Amino acid sequence: MSALLEQLTRRQLLWHANSQHTAYQAVPSGYAELDQQLAGGFPATGLIDIQTDTGIGELRLLLPYLQQQQSGGRLLVFLSPLAEPCADMLCAAGIVLSQLVIITPKTGKDALWAAEQCLQSGCCASVLLWQVPLKQAQARRLQLAAEQGAASLILLRRPQQGLSLPVNLSIKLQAHRQGVLLSVQKRKGGWPAAPFLVDMQNRWPGLCFSTEQHWQARRKAS
């Protein structure tokens, strides 16, 4: 019996239920509840799909992860960011600005080309790509490039229906007064999870309404 098992294992025909946590190497995200849900954190390599509205805290969620990715001395690339990135905020979050490259290509095609080059090169740790429509074949190509260069590509796009992309991790973010509401849609070697709150009150008190503030009178500006 064991000889047969061994043979099957060697031919990679057997799947062990306990081998699922080796689907990817995880990097702690800096948020304890998120690490617990994602079994260790964000993937160190491969594609990470984040479906989110802009400005609800998606970059704040990623900053500790990006900082760790960058700590090996490799580059961090911002590809077609929405507006001018602000040095103050990134610097305060511990991002080394000399290892940050911002690329503003004119077309989506150029953006994908640049993403592939950066991922393949092996000198980039993470590439953030904003709002570029992606087909499945393109996503697969980027996934291969990312594996080749041991880099991660983070896709930030609006919530959308459609075929899911071949990614290591797909999450959806929703705005919340104390942080962001995160739901795991797809995880390699794991199960989707129900929405849960990633609390940012400790890290970003200025950008959260504390629970006591609820009763306070709302000041409106118009």
Nearer to other proteins, 108 or 186 (CB): 108
Minimum CB separation from other proteins for residue 193, in Å? 21
Say how many Å lie between the first and final Cα of the chain, rounded: 75
26 binds other proteins (CB under 8 A): no
Q: For residues 195-217, b (16+ Cβ closer than 10 Å) or e, as one string? A: eeebbbeebeeeebeeeeeeeee
CA distances from 182 to 126, 131, 144, 172 (A): 21, 19, 27, 6
Helix (H, G, I), strand (E, B) or coil at 119: helix
56 binds other proteins (CB under 8 A): yes
20 binds other proteins (CB under 8 A): no
Instruction: Tell me the β-bridge partners of 89.
Output: none
The answer to whether residues 23 and 189 touch, using CB atoms and an 8 Å cutoff, is yes
Contact letters for other proteins, residues 113-152 (x by CB under 8 A): xx--xx-xxxxx-----------------------xxxx-
53 binds other proteins (CB under 8 A): yes
Residue ranges in 70-99 that form contacts with other proteins under rule CB under 8 A = 72-73, 75, 81-92, 97-99
The contact set with other proteins (CB under 8 A) reads 53-60, 72-73, 75, 81-92, 97-106, 110, 113-114, 117-118, 120-124, 148-151, 174-177, 206-209, 213, 218-222
